[in-house]
Structure 1
């Protein structure tokens, strides 16, 4: 299957080529890092290989995902494929360390004996990058992202971490790009505000923004999307189901922003199912295809855990969605004014 070689695009929008990116549906590697439930090595590798066979050509991961487990599994599976046939993104900002006492984690990764420690120093970035190359069995990364800076993650430490990111982490990443060790650099975050803080001070190639520019939610991304388009920054729209809220086949999931969703959030999600049911449209298909209509978006990054989920995502990307489905969502007030639709 050739997967979305043609980009859904609103009339009169300009599509910029992203030669460093493999496909418009990207494999999100957090689930194969044992996020919320364990996956065995064989199943994880079979899922990755199946994604490649289905035409998915960009694979995203991070040291943080399973404390190196996601990278190791991707490296093992993709080592069987020609390196030129896919692109990789990974992240820096945390160092993975052995810790025999670490048996429970509050972040959802079911992995014992390891821990992740924030480190945005120049040395930390270079050490993280070298470790990622080893786990991924590659000599270069296509897209290198600075992971999880921002006030929501770091609270009172945000100002100091932002300064260190601008002074040390991002310049070190730019040096790696200049050396050819990576092709593009940027941020991998969950919040708009820190993108807007960084963009005027450091030139970025790409931003991966998780959960903020989705079918369910656009209000916390309008400014960064406009800035990205103006500055020529490619956006990777991650978390298109908003932690599974819009990913169910028959109704909304019960999680939002990696936590249990409240009643009001689930009720709003149910409205998407009710509205789209009237046009016989799969909510998950609309959720995957919606972000790609924005001219700044290069790819949608969907977390995938199994062969069945890969097949479902591939089918959803190809599913026809009638124009009246998008009109119905606008009429119901479920899309922000002016956002482009396929």
Structure 2
């Protein structure tokens, strides 16, 4: 696989995603480390030079910091030369005096408080704020963010009903008016993704961590439905929070937490098969999702300059068909799993 340096991306009617690889801008919001402004700018410049033309962000990422930094960079590029997506479901407010704000995974976010809101008005407010932070006249793709049980828990049903009557209605109106070109959802659960395809007229869905070299549960529910209905799929979290980069002997990061022993063992077995064919396991992890016809794009989060070239090398590595066959022979992939 190679990145295109010559063909500008475009959002096409009925087929919103045309970029094979995306820049996930969560790291620009100080995810895991306090990335300085100049380093963030360097990463974006290097990514652009390497051929990245799809950039994804969210108000949640650094409580607006990711959008600020990404917008500052993109404002210097021709608007027709890149795809831009952000998310709704939260808008930002100034906290009350003395109020303690949960900063979550962000090391040094902006001093603002996210407010969870999937209503029509909340969606319009979030999108207006995003346009102001990004400093651009238009956003191509808007995702409804974190509408899943992992994030909403016991309140899931209530937020689901609000989003169907609010956020998705707002985005449908904006798509019909031409203010955005496509809309979808960015979530962590494949069964909820399948329900959203049935319940809405979305164009695209970003699924994090549920269709990877480690786990393929989305094959049972979401992916066949997405393919049948022409919904483009963007896969994020291809390393399952890091365990598919280098499997640990104990603990380790998996799915935003500590990996259980059976997951560690599975990752180690995958790594052994990759080593047999002299293929870096992260290269296989990056390229695996493209085997499914509904998957159009893999989004990779980048927050350190030294990892950009490494990720591109994984993306462009030659992987022999025999590796995928061996993973199936050993039961690490089901026999009918589509592979690149």
2:139 equivalent to 1:135: no
Q: What do you get for the CA RMSD once the two structures are aligned?
A: 2.3
**How far has the Cα of 1:263 moved from its partner?**
2.5
Cα gap change, 1:42/1:140 in structure 2, threshold over 3 Å: closer, same or farther? same
Where in structure 2 are the equivalents of 1:1-342 lying within 5 Å? 3=3, 20-99=16-95, 101=98, 105=102, 107-110=104-107, 111=109, 113-248=111-246, 254-342=252-340
CA contact (8 A) 2:247 2:264 kept: no
Instruction: Using the TM superposition, give the Cα deviation of residue 54 of structure 1 relative to its aligned residue in structure 2, in angstroms.
Output: 0.3
**Could you say what secondary structure the match of 2:17 adopts?**
coil
User: 1:48 Cα deviation (Å)?
Assistant: 1.2
1: CA distance, partners of 2:265 / 2:303: 27
Name structure 2 gaps, 5 residues minimum. Answer: 6-11
**In structure 1, what is the Cα distance between the partners aligned to 2:306 and 2:247?**
13
Number of residue pairs aligned between Structure 1 and Structure 2: 332
Give the alignment's TM-score, normalised by structure 1: 0.91
Separation in 2, partners of 1:86, 1:302: 16
More divergent stretch after superposition (213-222 vs 24-33): 213-222
CA contact (8 A) 2:142 2:184 kept: yes
Partners of 2:233 and 2:160 lie apart in 1 by 20
* Separation (CA, whole Å) in 2 of partners of 1:80 and 1:232: 34
Preserved CA contact (<8 Å) 2:191 2:221: no
- The residue number in structure 1 matching 2:9 is none
90-99 or 259-268: bigger deviation: 259-268
Distance in 1 between the 2:105 and 2:147 partners? Answer: 19
1:244-267 CA-to-partner distances (Å, cap 9, x unmatched) read 111249999921111122232222
Distance 1:249 1:45, change over 3 A: farther
Per-residue CA distance 1:307-328 (angstroms, 9 max, x = gap): 2222111111111011111111
Q: Which runs of 5+ in 1 are unaligned?
A: 6-15
State the shift of 1:106 in Å.
6.0
Native 8 Å contact 1:102 1:113 kept in 2: no
Shift of 1:193: 2.1
CA contact (8 A) 2:247 2:267 kept: no
**TM-score in terms of structure 2 length:** 0.91
1:198 Cα shift? 2.2
Tell whether the 8 Å contact from 1:20 to 1:87 is kept in structure 2 after alignment. no
Cα offset, 1:107, TM superposition: 2.5
